[in-house]
Amino acid sequence: MAKVDRRILKSQEAIKKAVLELMAEKDFDNITIRDISDRANLNRGTIYLHYTDKFDLLAKIIEEHISNLRELCQSASEMTFKEGNYVWFEYFANNHIFFSTMLNTKSAAYFRSRFLDLVVEEYKVEVDVTKGKNQELSEDVILQFFGAAVVGAVEWWFRNDMPLPPRVMAEQTGVLLDRNL
């Protein structure tokens, strides 16, 4: 695998940070490439070297985090919900600007939808409607219910400036999932 030039990585990080900061200040539709380039202290051409437009930029940022969360799920596949949730909540805390922006702004509906899809996909292997307490319930209803609960808990956490440490959030949501899935 080819090594990426550190200057390119530095420019891309500045661009991503700039767009997220701007999204915290104003609606995404009102953000221009000029705004992003000014905030990142780069010229517009540099942005266009890496991204087609601001929508491509946002989509790539979202997909990067969804991909990272998917990898965390794969590495946590043998863990309990509590242990696996801890890995996620640590990631959320370490990427606070991204998640608080994506979950607290009007222009973040696409991310919320992608995040919900990921949670549903990851919990699908845990749902068994052939026996136990979920017997004869609809798998789709169960997955949507718990997916919305997890996404809602994460939204609440960011909306309230992370009032509980990641470990506590992971433990409490993990206990609820363990109890009910």
DSSP secondary structure string for all residues of 73-99:
HHHTTTS-HHHHHHHHHHHHHHTHHHH
Local structure of residue 58 (DSSP, 8 states): H
Q: What is the pLDDT of residue 109?
A: 82
Please list, in sequence order, all residues whose beta carbon lies within 8 angstroms of the beta carbon of residue 159, skipping any fewer than 6 positions away.
100, 103, 104
Taken in order 26, 29, 35, 41, the sign of the CA dihedral is positive
Judge whether 1-51 and 61-180 match in fold. Answer: no
Q: What is the CATH number of domain 61-180?
A: 1.10.357
- Asked if 91 contacts 99 with a C-beta cutoff of 8 angstroms, the reply is no
Question: Which residue, 112, 144, 114, 115, is CA-closest to 127?
Answer: 144
Q: What is the pLDDT of residue 180?
A: 81
C-alpha distances (whole Å) from 2 to each of 5, 28, 96, 179 are 9, 33, 30, 46
Q: Degrees (nearest 5) of the Cα angle 124, 105, 149?
A: 30
Intra-chain end-to-end CA distance of the chain, in Å:
40
Beta strands (DSSP E) in 15-147 are none
Q: What is the pLDDT of residue 136?
A: 84
Q: Looking at domain 1-51, which of 1.20.120.50, 1.10.10.60, 1.10.240.10, 3.40.50.12780 is its CATH number? A: 1.10.10.60
- Write b or e for each residue in 90-121: b if 16 or more Cβ atoms lie within 10 A of its Cβ, otherwise e: bbbbebeebbbbbbebebbeebeebbbebbbe
Domain residues of the chain, as ranges? 1-51, 61-180
Predicted structure pTM score: 0.82
- Measured distance CA(63)–CA(34) in Å, rounded: 23
- 10-residue averages of pLDDT along the chain (181 residues): 81 95 90 97 95 95 94 86 88 92 79 93 87 87 94 94 95 89 77
